[in-house]
Amino acid sequence: MDFGLSPEQRMLRDAVDRLLREHSPLDHVREVVARGDNVSAAVVAALAELGLPGIVVPEEHGGLGLGLLDAVVVAEALGAAVAPVPFVARSVLAPLALRLAGSPEQQAQWLPRIAEGSARFGVGLTELVNRRDGSGMTADNGTLRGTALFVLDSADADAFIVADEDGSLHLVTGDADRLEFVALPTVDLTRAVGELRLDGVAAEPFGNDTGDAARMLVAAGRVLLAADTVGSADAMIAKAVAYAGEREQFGRVIGSFQAVKHMCAEMAARLEPCRSLVWYAAHAFDTVPEEALLMACHAKSHTGEVGRFVARTATEVHGGMGFTDLLGLHYWFKRIGFDRQVLGGPEIVRTEAATLQGWDARAA
Q: Residue 232 falls within a domain, yes or no? A: yes
| Same domain assignment for residues 74 and 144 | no
Of 56, 88, 116, which one is at a domain's C-terminal end?
116
Find the domain containing 149 and state its range: 121-205
What is the rounded CA–CA span in Å between residue 139 and residue 314? Answer: 46
Radius of gyration of the chain (CA): 20
Give the CATH number for residue 134: 2.40.110.10
Q: Residue 301 falls within a domain, yes or no? A: yes
* CA neighbor of 149 nearest in space, from 176, 124, 129: 124
What is the rounded CA–CA span in Å between residue 69 and residue 50? Answer: 17
Give the CATH number for residue 339: 1.20.140.10
| Same domain assignment for residues 222 and 355 | yes
| Same domain assignment for residues 219 and 355 | yes
Q: Residue 60 falls within a domain, yes or no? A: yes
Q: Residue 2 falls within a domain, yes or no? A: no
- Please report the sign of the dihedral spanned by the C-alpha atoms of residue 240, residue 77, residue 189, residue 352: negative
| Number of residues assigned to the chain | 364
| Same domain assignment for residues 112 and 125 | no
What is the rounded CA–CA span in Å between residue 97 and residue 123? Answer: 9
The 10s digit of each residue's pLDDT in 5-42 is: 899 999 999 999 999 999 999 999 999 999 988 899 99
| Same domain assignment for residues 226 and 331 | yes
Q: Which DSSP symbol is given to 320?
A: G
Mean pLDDT (the chain) is: 92
The SS3 call for residue 193 is strand
The 10s digit of each residue's pLDDT in 158-210 is: 999 999 988 999 999 999 999 999 999 899 999 999 999 999 999 999 988 88
What is the rounded CA–CA span in Å between residue 157 and residue 110? Answer: 13
Of 205, 221, 253, which one is at a domain's C-terminal end?
205
| Same domain assignment for residues 31 and 128 | no
Q: Phi and psi at residue 202, in whole multiples of 5°?
A: -65, 130
In the prediction, which pLDDT does 203 show? 93
Q: Residue 128 falls within a domain, yes or no? A: yes
| Same domain assignment for residues 34 and 128 | no
Instruction: Count the alpha carbons within 13 Å of 93 in the hemisphere toward its beta carbon.
Output: 35
| Same domain assignment for residues 263 and 308 | yes
- Please report the sign of the dihedral spanned by the C-alpha atoms of residue 238, residue 241, residue 244, residue 245: negative
| Same domain assignment for residues 229 and 312 | yes
Give the CATH number for residue 84: 1.10.540.10
Strand ranges, E, within 43-142:
121-124, 136-140
Percent of the chain with pLDDT over 90: 79
| Same domain assignment for residues 229 and 331 | yes
DSSP string, 285-312: HHH-HHHHHHHHHHHHHHHHHHHHHHHH
| Same domain assignment for residues 79 and 180 | no
Strand partners, 193: 152
Of 181, 205, 229, which one is at a domain's C-terminal end?
205
Q: Residue 333 falls within a domain, yes or no? A: yes
What is the rounded CA–CA span in Å between residue 60 and residue 37? Answer: 35
Positions of the chain with pLDDT under 70: 1-2, 360-364
Which residues, 6 or more positions from 193, have their beta carbon under 8 angstroms from its beta carbon? 38, 150, 151, 152, 154, 183, 184, 186
| Same domain assignment for residues 329 and 236 | yes
What is the rounded CA–CA span in Å between residue 291 and residue 307? Answer: 23
In the prediction, which pLDDT does 91 show? 96
Q: Residue 1 falls within a domain, yes or no? A: no
Task: Give the total number of structural domains in the chain.
Answer: 3
